[in-house]
A = this chain, B = another copy of it.
Amino acid sequence: MAQEEVQNGGVEKVAAVTFTALKPQLMVEAPKAADAVQFYKSAFGAVEVDRTVHPKRKAEQELPHILSAQLELAGSTILVSDTSESSAPLKTEGAGCVLCLETEDVEAAIAEAVSAGGVAEGEITEGDDACCGGRVGKVKDPYGYVWLICSPAKKCADVEA
């Protein structure tokens, strides 16, 4: 839009658009979104603040089709949605996304997630790996999403900004 001529193939411009929120949307195989919401509450203490169900399906089916459940977690918002005919391609189209949750108590967080039905994968490591140092463990939830439970990020000596 504001970009009329690009020299040397480089794109250097200031985006003119303001974004007010970023919300990861987790697509869950229908009709498991309600179960997934319950899992995120139990495993991570997420708080559901809103839920939109498909208006036409409520009377026909036992389980409402969740278009979008909005959860507050760690100061952020995530959306949990049942896949549908139209949204199903998103599940396969979207590249693998990992969700990093920072906490001071990695062990307890993983134990909570496992007691709620998650599966711990691998050992807790002292990372030079993802999430910029600190301790990192991995939990896969019953709906296919991978959560990294990390101690809070700290600045590393080896930073190029």
Contacts and interface: CB of A to CB of B under 8 A. Distances in A.
Interface in A111-131: 111-112, 115-116, 128-131
A144 B95 contact: yes
A130 B68 contact: yes
Number of copies of this chain that the complex holds: 2
B132 A81 contact: no
A20 B159 contact: no
A1 B112 contact: yes
Interface string A123-160: 00000111111000000100111101000110110111
Interface string A26-56: 1110000000001000111100111111110
A63 interface: no
A92 B144 CA distance: 10
Given A94-B96, A161-B48, A102 B11 contact: no
